[in-house]
Amino acid sequence: MAFPLPTHTPSPALTMAKSNHVLSSDTRASLLSRSVLWAILGLALSVPMREAVGQGSCKGRPNEHTPICDTTHAPAPFAATGWKTTGLDHFTMHAVDYKKEAAFYMALMNWKLRSDDGKQAVLDVGDVGTVVIVGGYTPAPPPPPRVLSAADSAAMAARGGGAGGRGGAGGGQRRAPQVAWDSFAWIIAPWNAKTIEAELRKRGLDPVADNSGPGGCEAFHVKDPQGFDLVLTNACYAKGRKSAKAITWAEPAPFESTNWKTVWLDHISFGVGDYKKEVAFYETLIGWKPQGDEGSQNEVWMCDDCGNVLIRGGNALSPAFDKSAPPRATIDHVSFGLAPFSPDVTGNDLKSRGLTASPDIGIPGVDAASHINDATVNYKSFHTNTPMGYNLQISNATKQNRTVIIVKP
């Protein structure tokens, strides 16, 4: 029986626009010199490098070093547990048409169908994790147009009309997604169910036990500060991932399968109402390691065998922060590392299947399409849209070339 998860309606996904400036030789030299400097300072610089400035709306922008971009770390919400995240167990998404969405991932990403009970499909993502796609999703009505404050307008103008860089624009014209990635489950160590439950209750988190997954599965659901469904587990789907056999399926493939293999969880783009509070929560509860507060987001190391999460959104220390806004949390896109990956071949694979292929090299103010084949550009990726309108990103990131400038935790 597939592992059922609570349903809730997530906030609308964040969307971002790209700017179209050209990467000058001076900029390339600057990136190189910074790489050398970071190496000299003893930081762990992995390749390919993603330019850190591209990750938010503060660093390298006019508002940097102003109260709008206050980088003070939020205090811990409670005593640290000492727990460590050791891996991704699974994501859960809810879709209007789960079969169509599952067939897309099976054909494009070569994810393996483990089960389909008529209500949801369980797909194994190589050795990376598992995705549970549940049907019957009803999208929330679109929100009213946002009225920008003067500070928000200035910040948007400073970054060329929208946030550039990695995790930016989706693949082509976006429509309201008919799917939501609204839960994630992480394998935690050390694991003792009674101790885990007691420690969660001690911290006021009201855990909900869920042992309905595969054999030997123990799990607890809690809500994070922004209301997102966080699952802590001893490994529900991970235990049988390597031994599970793909089942046959009558659902037609949307196109000819690729030869791609998903080898890495590159990053999660997690848009929230108060990113500082979220960072402090995950750091204190399950041992995630913040890599540097940029003023509008923090890129956080989750574990050695999974990628990073960009926790981005409102800065509660900024004078422009809207304290009356309700909590929100949305996984607006997920990026997976592929093998093999070639900008020309991978881009053509997408286009020949009638899919968008929007380049993203993780550097703000740069026309990614003109530079994705440059030898000086190490991070290479494309955004595309799934049948249900989700922003899927695929990249050349792998565990071996881990693509974030990090201070080793």
Domain membership flag for residue 147: no
pLDDT digits (tens, 9 = 90+) for 202-228: 999 999 999 877 777 899 999 999 999
Domain membership flag for residue 153: no
Give the lowest-confidence range in 130-144, 152-166, 362-376.
152-166
Domain membership flag for residue 155: no
Q: Are 107 and 399 in contact (CB under 8 A)?
A: no
pLDDT digits (tens, 9 = 90+) for 102-135: 999 999 999 999 999 999 999 999 999 999 999 9
Q: Are 166 and 362 in contact (CB under 8 A)?
A: yes
Domain membership flag for residue 8: no
pLDDT digits (tens, 9 = 90+) for 74-98: 999 999 999 999 999 999 999 999 9
pLDDT digits (tens, 9 = 90+) for 326-347: 999 999 999 999 999 999 999 9
Domain membership flag for residue 333: yes
220: domain range?
26-142+160-406
Domain membership flag for residue 152: no
pTM value? Answer: 0.80
> Six-digit token pair at 182?
């609204």
Q: What is the pLDDT of residue 114?
A: 94
State how many domains the chain has.
1
User: Strands, E, within 96-178: which ranges?
Assistant: 112-116, 120-125, 129-134
Domain membership flag for residue 249: yes
The chain-wide mean pLDDT, for the chain, equals 82
Q: Are 237 and 130 in contact (CB under 8 A)?
A: yes
CATH code for position 68: 3.10.180.10
Domain membership flag for residue 283: yes
**DSSP, residue by residue, 252-268:** PPSS-----EEEEEEEE
Q: Which 8-state DSSP code applies to residue 52?
A: G
